[in-house]
Amino acid sequence: MRRVVLATHNPHKVEEFAGIVARVRPDLEVVGYDGPEPVEDGVTFAANALIKARAAAAHTGLPALADDSGVSVDVLGGSPGVFSAYWAGHAKDAGANLRLLLDQLSDVADPHRTAQFVSTIALVVPNGPEHVVEGVWPGRLASEASGDGGFGYDPIFVPDGQDPAAERTVGEWSAAEKNAASHRARAFEALAPLLAAL
C-alpha cells in the first residue's frame, strides 16, 4: 500500500478521511501526523490547508493531505468560517463553539439560518506539486443540537436536499452517509484525479 499522511492530530478527521479515500483509492493508506503542529496564521481555508500540508510533507517525506474546514453562516457574513475551531476561544472546545454559535443565532428565524460547511484540501508532494481543492455543502443550522454522531458543528447542521418531513442533522447521520455527501467528500471528488496521478 502507498501511504499518504493526513496533517492533523484530530483522530476523527483521520478516520473520516480514511473512509472517504478508501472509496476512491483503496490502495492508499491514510496515516496520522505525529509531528509538530504548525502555526495556522492564514486568513483563508486554502492558506491554512497549505501551511499544514507543507509541514507534514516536510516532516514525514510522504505526500501530505491537509484539510481546513469550517461552517460559514450567511447571516453572520460567513463567520465563523476560518475561525470555526476557535469560535469560543483558543481552547478549541467543540461544545463551547457550538453553544456560542447557537446563542448568537437564538433570535434568527429559520429561513435566515442558511449556512455551508466548507472544506479546502491541500495536497503537497515532497519536492513536487501543490494542489488545493474545495468542497461546499449547503444547508442551514438547527435551533438546537440533535444526534451524537460526527463532531464539531455536525449536531446542528441540516444539509439541503432532504425530505422536509424527515430532515436530520448530520449528527444523526451514519458515518457512511456523511462520508458520501459531506463537504470533505465533495472536495475529495475534485482531489481524486490528483491522487490517481501519485
pLDDT at residue 66, as a whole number: 96
Percentage of the residues of the chain whose pLDDT score is greater than 70: 99
Pseudo-torsion of CA 73, 187, 147, 109, nearest 10°? 20
Whether 68 is catalytic: yes
pTM of the predicted protein model: 0.89
- 131 marked among binding-site residues: no
How many angstroms separate the Cα of 109 from the Cα of each of 80, 141, 143?
19, 10, 9
- 151 marked among binding-site residues: yes
Q: Which segments within 86-191 are labelled E, that is strand?
A: 114-124, 130-141, 157-159
pLDDT at residue 24, as a whole number: 77
Among the listed residues 41, 67, 68, 148, the single catalytic one is 68
Residue 51 is part of which domain span? 2-196
Instruction: Decide if 110 contacts 101 (C-beta within 8 A).
Output: no
- 155 marked among binding-site residues: no
pLDDT at residue 1, as a whole number: 62
- 11 marked among binding-site residues: yes
- 60 marked among binding-site residues: no
| Number of structural domains found in the chain | 1
Q: How far apart are CA 159 and CA 138, in angstroms?
A: 6
Please give the span between the terminal C-alpha atoms of the chain, in angstroms, as a whole number: 12
Q: Tell me the CATH number at 161.
A: 3.90.950.10
Q: Write the single-letter amino acid at 128.
A: G
**Among the listed residues 35, 33, 38, the one whose alpha carbon sits nearest the alpha carbon of residue 65:** 33
Instruction: Decide if 141 contacts 115 (C-beta within 8 A).
Output: yes
Predicted confidence pLDDT, tens digits, the chain (198 residues): 689 999 998 888 888 888 888 877 889 899 999 999 899 999 999 999 999 999 999 999 999 999 999 999 999 999 999 999 999 998 889 999 999 999 999 999 999 999 999 999 999 999 989 999 999 999 999 999 999 988 899 999 999 999 989 999 999 999 889 988 999 889 988 998 888 777
pLDDT at residue 89, as a whole number: 93
Residue partners of 120: CB distance under 8 A and separation at least 6: 44, 45, 46, 48, 49, 67, 68, 69, 132, 133, 134, 135, 187
